[in-house]
A and B are shown apart, each in its own frame.
Chain A
């Protein structure tokens, strides 16, 4: 299991959801603890799913992360906060988490190669 990737996803998920709660309706029910738990869950589940489905390229990884983020967020809100999160909010959140994760993973992935060339 790639622990760096997992921690990074968790941080990205947390920050994205934390900021989105100010902008789009439907995430106000998440306290800081809820945000930490849900971001850990989506990071952990997506990392496990990558290993299970053998996702080896960024496109497959992003699709998996998007689906798992959306499902985790929706189900967590429904079960633990007892509020049906709006589908648009869930999709926007999942898309942003995926996009930020893609950008940061790409940047981190480039660094070792640059070091090797030097």
Chain B
């Protein structure tokens, strides 16, 4: 009886681990015009990674097929600055689109760079998904705007930030001074302003 109980407990633990790991990933539904290569380029995850994650034997997809896009973390070597190729570009682009759609292009890149700077900072979680979904971190996550599909500008901006461009100057926070009444955010040291956003440390 005791053995069975232990086996059941282990099974539950393994299942819970699997679920918590997979919940960080995105599920993408294949649309007309999508190929595995085009999806791979858009989300910044390699074709072979997509194939292995989805158990695909070939690069061929059906319309309506749901594929899992792994949310990757920054590799330790890349976290020291410069290019952060392992980051999920599409997920980052969603946030950029939701937070800075009406901002100039450099403002979009700066917002993406702030997120990437947080991943590197010891004061924040060290994965993209964890930074994005940190409670009260981003208004667009709370109101669901982050789930809208990003436009090409936002995707490009996310890519530029991943490739190392940081117009924010290493900022960890950004906010719209005309809208923000949060006391904490006003205590931060503002280092630059792009469009309607100010960027702070």
A contact set with B: CB distance below 8 Å:
21-32, 34, 81-83, 85-86, 89
Contact = CB atoms under 8 A, between A and B. Distances in A.
Contacts of B33: 28-31, 34
Interface of B: 30-35, 37-38, 58-65
A21 B35 contact: no
Q: Binding site of B, secondary structure by majority: helix, strand, loop or mixed? A: loop
Given A22-B62, A28-B34, A28-B63, 6 more contacts: A25-B58, A25-B60, A25-B61, A27-B63, A28-B33, A29-B33
A81 B36 CA distance: 12
Contacts of B32: 21, 28, 30-32
A25 B65 CA distance: 9
B113 to A, nearest CB: 33
28 contacts: A21-B32, A21-B62, A22-B63, A23-B62, A25-B58, A25-B60, A25-B61, A25-B65, A27-B62, A27-B63, A28-B31, A28-B33, A28-B34, A28-B35, A28-B60, A28-B65, A29-B33, A30-B33, A31-B32, A32-B32, A34-B33, A81-B35, A82-B37, A83-B37, A83-B59, A83-B60, A86-B58, A86-B60
B29 to A, nearest CB: 11
B64 A26 contact: no
Nearest to B30: A28
A89 B65 CA distance: 16
B28 to A, nearest CB: 12
Nearest to B31: A28
Nearest to B34: A28
Nearest to A86: B60
Nearest to A35: B32
A26 B32 CA distance: 11
A105 to B, nearest CB: 28
A22 B60 contact: no
Contacts of B59: 83
A21 B63 contact: yes
Given A81-B35, A83-B37, A28 B61 contact: yes
